[in-house]
Amino acid sequence: MPLQPGDLLAIVAPASPISREAFAAGIAVLATWGLRLTHGAEIFAPRPYTTAADKAAAQRLAQAITDPEIKGIICARGGYGTIRLLQHLDLTLLAQHPKYFLGFSDITTLLCLFSQRAGVVTCHGPTVAHLAEIWPEAQEHCRCLLMEPSLERLCFPDLQVLAPGTAQGPLVGGNLAILCSLLGTPFAPTLSGHVLLLEDYNEPLYRIDRLLQQLRLSGRLQGVHAIVLGGFTGCGPLPKVWELFASLGEDLGLPVLAGLPMGHQPDNYTIPLGTLVRVDSQQRTLQWLMPGSL
């Protein structure tokens, strides 16, 4: 359900806490959207690596999901910590309480698992901390997706073709390193049958390759329909990064398109996961197929 002006948006911190300064800058943007905001003091507090703290954070998130007053949830920031919540959280909870859930980077874990376990759409997009740092166009795109969504018009053009082909499927993915941190666990998302979105930040080229080797050896790339790449900021020269993915696409016979404006960069556009998309290397587009609103 699209958010209406006056609706209550909850700010939660399942990963790292947010600084007061980043919080102030982020809510200044949200304030212009006409939404009411709610948060607990815990979003500013570093969380110790203890089971008690994990359970409290999971409970806080579950409360925000189940509270009927709360119409949407935005994460304070990424960083680290989401993996610690997984055993303490009912990952299907959004099925009974469908509402927007927004974040990226370390939040990838919850974006994918909520989407797949609860069968809902989740939003790969700015956290509160990132909201004030991105371009006005990306802020406005985020606002539209939350408040006036119309997926039939959603299309990202001018992508770079690393491996040719056309494919379609539901979108899954986010941060490559975070996805790989779930491999071998019961929380690894299903990638088969999907269009896989990937971005990363500050991983040297050899680590990107190591992550791709692990993902490939895990068998989870079998049946993936296409790969679409966002930013790989601070991961070495982009042509070198693209080479790795071009070679992967060629080996697996998959279309791979790069240059989607999403990730740790100023044009971090909000991308709905769990929605049906089409990748076309001739048109160089990522286009949404699901008609109507979210």
| Site for a copy of itself contains 77 (CB under 8 A) | no
155-156 vs 285-288, strand pairing mode: antiparallel
Determine, following the binding rule CB under 8 A, whether residue 90 of this chain makes contact with a copy of itself.
no
**How far apart, in whole angstroms, are the C-alpha atoms of residue 197 and residue 194?**
9
Torsion angle defined by CA atoms of residues 259, 264, 269 and 273, in that order, rounded to the nearest 10 degrees: 90
1: number of Cβ within 10 Å: 12
Looking up tokens 């975070």, which residue turns up?
A: 178
Q: Which of 8, 93, 188, 290 binds a copy of itself (CB under 8 A)?
A: 188
CB within 8 Å of 219: residues ≥ 6 apart: none
Identified binder of a copy of itself from the candidate list 35, 209, 245, 258, rule CB under 8 A: 209
Shortest distance (Å) from residue 48 CB to a copy of itself: 9
SS3 of 11, please? strand
Instruction: Tell the residue number behind the tokens 């990306």, with chain if given.
Output: 138
- Binder to a copy of itself among 168, 214, 283, 285 (CB under 8 A)? 214
Cα-to-chain-centroid distance, residue 98: 17
Closer by beta carbon to a copy of itself, 97 or else 210: 210
Q: Which of 5, 6, 20, 49 binds a copy of itself (CB under 8 A)?
A: 49
Is 153 an interacting residue with respect to a copy of itself (CB under 8 A)? no
- 41 forms part of the interface with a copy of itself (CB under 8 A): no
| 256 vs 294, beta carbon nearer a copy of itself | 256
Q: Is 105 a catalytic residue?
A: yes
Closest by Cα among 224, 216, 269, 272 to 247: 216
Of 150, 160, 247, 285, the residue at the interface with a copy of itself (CB under 8 A) is: 247
What residues act catalytically? Answer: 105, 199, 264
Interface with a copy of itself by CB under 8 A: which residues?
Answer: 49-51, 79-81, 83-84, 86-87, 181-188, 206-207, 209-211, 213-214, 217-220, 243-244, 247, 251
